[in-house]
Amino acid sequence: MTQQQTTGGDVRLTGISKTYGSFTAVHPLDLTVPQGSFFALLGASGCGKTTTLRMIAGLEEATTGTVSLGGRDITALPPHRRPVNTVFQSYALFPHLDVTENVAFGLRRRGVTPVKKRVAEMLDLVQLGDFARRRPHQLSGGQQQRVAVARALINHPQVLLLDEPLGALDLSLRRRMQLELKRIQTEVGITFVHVTHDQEEAMTMADTVAVMNGGRVEQLGAPAELYENPRTTFVANFLGTSNLIEAEIVSAGTDVVVSVGGGTLRLPAGRCPAPAPPGGRLLVGVRPEKISLDPAADADPGDGRNRVTGRITEAGFLGVSTQYLVESPAGKALQVYEQNTGHRRSLAPGSEVVLHWDPAHTFALDAAQDMEAGVQSVQDTP
Ligand SMILES: Nc1ncnc2c1ncn2[C@@H]1O[C@H](COP(=O)(O)OP(=O)(O)OP(=O)(O)O)[C@@H](O)[C@H]1O
Ligand SMILES: [Mg+2]
């Protein structure tokens, strides 16, 4: 209890790790989930998300470290004695019980009353009042998911753990349920720890996202903070898309000037990972939507913007935007997203173009990293 501070009901993981034989699924991890927050663990398959969640739930014994809740060490408590409930991907509803009895289950088991009133409140919360007498097989996926959430919340856990709870749903229902879950969380104010491999899901729902890779948390922060200021190539590529360009430092002051494929680019020193000595190497990054693109003939970006000339190799018209691939001395396949504002038609492959952007929208990463880390080769939204 010495370190309790004003933690209230924070979940605190201290040096928690899990090894299976010689394989380390989760490296020693320190993590605080503030009480009442919506916290997402985000990462690719096999990175240790479920294992971390199961250690919080007590379903998996930690190899090292401790789990505490509101300053109380719960590492040694069995799952049913922790004030924590889990919603699994396969909702695991009781098929022979109707919605009411599924939701009432936890109350009946613990002998808590009044059952009827509490179940009714819970069904209101998840907007299933009209479905109280249906069995799970008479419900859609999204409705079953809400029953699973209601069944867990009725126990008044301090923390609700959700392991890919939306994984079984199709994309549009998934998007709706994300908003729904977020609404429920805001309404009940309970801490949610949500595991997902879908970056859009994590960013839409969570106050704080921990990006996991290979059993470690690579970066943790608010979605916009992670997106705008990725600190590793994995985070830069896994959260959205980044253009990463190999660069050599020319000079360093308030701005750092780097040379890339013949030209130079500029960025604020504060967006570089460490002091940048001339001659050193960096990976310079810029998001595709931060780049403007103009036909080479009429391009005059001027005013200190970063500029790169190139040639369009692919143009994909998506309605709301056009996504271009541009071949340039700075990179063979720079990506540019141009919003369809109607100011001109999409440019065709083969067009000579100038890409330009605000130096402040440029970030830099340590060059001793794999540029391709975290790149999702196919649009792998399930
Ligand atoms: N009982 C076990 N024995 C050995 N290895 C295991 C065991 N459980 C999990 N692992 C391994 O630990 C790693 C992390 O697994 P975990 O289930 O936490 O991944 P995950 O991030 O939840 O992935 P997914 O998104 O696919 O669910 C994986 O490489 C997995 O193969
Ligand atoms: Mg998992």
Average pLDDT over residues 358-381: 83
Q: Is pLDDT at 289 greater than 80 in this prediction?
A: yes
- Residue 372 inside a domain? The answer is no
What pLDDT does residue 174 have?
86
pLDDT at 299 over 70: no
Q: Say yes or no: 225 and 245 in one domain.
A: no
Residues, beta carbon < 5 Å, ion ligand 2? 50
Give the distance (Å) from ligand 2 centre to CA of residue 150. Answer: 22
Which of 36, 9, 42, 33 is CA-nearest to residue 223?
Answer: 42
Q: Are residues 262 and 214 in the same domain?
A: no
Report which of 71, 101, 106 is spatially closest to residue 87, judged by C-alpha positions.
Answer: 106
**Ligand 2 geometric centre to CA of 226 (Å):** 22
Q: Which atom of ligand 1 is nearest to the CA of 20?
A: 4
Split at pLDDT 50, 70, 90, the class of 355 is very high
Task: Say if residue 204 is in the same domain as residue 248.
Answer: no
Measured CA to CA, the distance from residue 237 to residue 331 in angstroms comes to 16
> In whole numbers, what is the pLDDT of the chain averaged over residues?
91
Peptide bond into 78 cis (omega under 30): no
Question: Residue 367 region, left (φ>0) first, then alpha (ψ -120 to 50), else beta?
Answer: alpha
Q: Is residue 205 part of a domain?
A: yes
Same domain, 105 and 183: yes
Same domain, 79 and 186: yes
The answer to the question of residue 377 being in a domain is no
Q: Are the CB atoms for 169 and 89 separated by under 8 Å?
A: no
Indicate whether 5 pLDDT > 60: no
- pLDDT tier at 380, thresholds 50, 70, 90: very low
Which of 16, 20, 166 best tests ligand 1's pocket when mutated (most atoms within 8 Å of CB)? 20
Mutate to test the pocket of ligand 1, among 16, 41, 42, 51 (most ligand atoms within 8 A of CB): 51
Does residue 376 lie in a domain region? no
Work out the average pLDDT over 344-364.
Answer: 94
Q: Say if residue 326's pLDDT is above 90.
A: yes
Residue 269 is part of which domain span? 241-366
Q: Are residues 254 and 217 in the same domain?
A: no
Q: What's the structural domain count of the chain?
A: 2
Among 16, 18, 19, 47, residue to substitute to test ligand 1 (most atoms within 8 Å of Cβ)? 47
Q: Give domain status of residue 332, yes or no.
A: yes
Q: Which of 210, 232, 254 is the C-terminal boundary of a domain? A: 232
Q: What percent of the chain has pLDDT over 90?
A: 73
66 pLDDT more than 50: yes
pLDDT in tens, 80-97: 999 999 998 777 899 999
